[in-house]
Chains A and B, each alone.
Chain A
């Protein structure tokens, strides 16, 4: 089963490699990972998406907790939470389909953040289903390039631990 694990860690050099090294050294896979500093500049927030049965996820969360630089580990599966990721997608539609790109971007509440004679770059945020749906709709337009952030997740208010 897929789990989104949220980590608070010390904002020091080498911490990311300790966390990722834990996964690689024990043969666990990271599907996505995103990191950013919190309102406290000494603390960073990581969101890791990984997959495993209960026993593996239990080991992952325990092993993460054991790392000296890890302040808090939360498995989001246990909480009502909101997940988002963002993509930047560069398409090169045929002239007659240019308008469609605009329309779809609007429908998905995306933004055109760059354009050239032949291409548009669209920014979309949303949960995984929305992102996947948008990508599928854009495929016939001719996707030139696609970059995707990892997921970020936050617990809904009232259920925070």
Chain B
């Protein structure tokens, strides 16, 4: 029996186990929306902007490990998804995005609400399709989910012309999937793994650098086993936070531009780096020529293009992190462990000394709220058991520094693209994925205004997400750069007019709370966490506070700036504003 393209689409989504779709309707997708009206199994969450829909699907994917799904209309609906798709692409997040398209006979005619979205998204998707024949639809959906979720995951877009959703075909679901030109390699090369094991066994100052690949492949147990068995300390990149327990004694926290003193020192002094599911982003490496100058480098990654892209590598291992670590651990088990402990004792003692020398810290105050203090309190009150999303900027870095992530999929942030406006819609998606968890967006007053309209989505869907705004009345990270590198010329970073966030929350039907003094922080957080509604918390924080340590862009990562290098008279001046 022949059924319509829209019916084929919904049937295919159910076959893929989809329950939630984030989206926004429009003329050319009405055939699909009309079917969704009566569908009991597919829940469409209406966001207030298509960018919000994609970030929500992305947050859903990151929190659940499933593929996130979004559905939007053609033209502006589709182009509004580009930032979200690029965000997911940079962070390797599996998404399938359906965009509506004008009828096939009008494509290329500059029809109303037409955009060449397949062309526009080609560089920021893992793959994309324009469905020209309704008979191909089921197969394409199956293929899209396969591509999005296998190998190095990523977003896939399917463009659906209106006549394809209206046209009819038999529903034929391909049970197996084989794409001749797409065969990700999962097993690591045995010889390379043996060579890597040999290097690990004889290293005296080794460091593991764990990236987002550890979280994506679910390799946190294998990574912990490797670290504990060998006694190698682990630093987690921004995307890798939660891939190794942040509170573990072998944890070095984050490396790079705003990484810890001890992570950066350890990397620079190391004789072996084991890079696991990470891609040597410039925010991690700083000046590449002087990155880890004494170290041999073992690089494990499923994507061969990540290897030797930025950094020379001695032992490349292409494969899925979880499988490769399992293979590696097996080889290492036969080595003489007691010997390692003795060798690494000195190294670990050195790291302990660095940790004591310069721990992550800030100057506490009882007069003005320090943003780091808010993050610390959130960590204490949630006992590290919340899902934290962030916006981008200082709020993101303080959250990464002062919240310890012990488990994967607790930390959702736009790492690669650095997308302001990501955190709040992502929190909405995450809350849909893990309804029982406390989901908190740590935000800045600038970023939150980029997708603040999604308050409506949270309220309508009864999603008890919390937003903690670290409100410093500035685009803080840019201001920090202006202060340090542009002679304090604060060009357009002061947000002189910010809305009253409490009133904004209330206007949308959410709860708004404000803290202006350090003593109010804990009561506000407690009240928010015990409210089963969306809550916006406006923390009026010290606007002079900066993120430290800081490696200036393009400098070697052990060239770190610290707060005590600020001139005291400057500090005083700023405080009087």
Contact = CB atoms under 8 A, between A and B. Distances in A.
A11 B122 CA distance: 17
Contact of B126 (A21, A63, A68, A70): A68
Interface string B136-153: 000000000001000000
Contacts of B182: 68
Contact of A62 (B126, B127, B130, B304): B304
B503 interface: no
A68 B303 contact: no
A59 B305 contact: yes
A95 interface: no
A127 interface: no
A17 B305 contact: no
Contacts of A66: 303-305
Given A68-B147, A68-B181, A17 B304 contact: no
A68 B309 contact: no
Interface of B: 118-119, 122-123, 126-127, 130, 147, 179-182, 303-305, 308-309
B304 A68 contact: no
A58 B308 contact: yes
A28 to B, nearest CB: 13
9 contacts: A9-B181, A18-B122, A21-B122, A59-B309, A68-B126, A68-B127, A68-B181, A70-B181, A71-B180
A85 interface: no
A66 B123 CA distance: 13
A71 B130 CA distance: 20
Most central of B122, B126, B147 by chain A CB within 10 Å: B122
Nearest to B304: A62
A21 B125 CA distance: 12
Contacts of B127: 68
Nearest to A13: B130
Contacts of B308: 55, 58-59
Nearest to A8: B181
Given A14-B118, A18-B122, A21-B123, A65 B304 contact: yes
Interface in A40-67: 55, 58-59, 62-63, 65-66
A63 B123 contact: no
A63 B122 CA distance: 14
B257 to A, nearest CB: 23
Contacts of B309: 59
A26 B122 CA distance: 13
A71 B181 contact: yes
A69 interface: yes
Q: Which 8 A-B pairs have the closest CB atoms?
A: A71-B181, A62-B305, A68-B127, A62-B304, A25-B123, A68-B182, A63-B305, A66-B305
Contacts of B147: 68
Most central of B123, B305, B308 by chain A CB within 10 Å: B305
A10 B181 contact: yes
Contacts of B179: 68
Nearest to B307: A62
Contacts of A17: 119, 122
A58 to B, nearest CB: 6
Interface in A1-49: 9-10, 14, 17-18, 21, 25
A17 B120 CA distance: 11
A62 B185 CA distance: 13
A10 B179 CA distance: 11
Contacts of A59: 305, 308-309
B433 to A, nearest CB: 27
B459 to A, nearest CB: 40
A149 to B, nearest CB: 26
Contacts of A18: 122
Contacts of A55: 308
A58 B309 CA distance: 9
Nearest to B147: A68
Nearest to A12: B129
A14 B304 contact: no
B241 to A, nearest CB: 26
B243 to A, nearest CB: 23
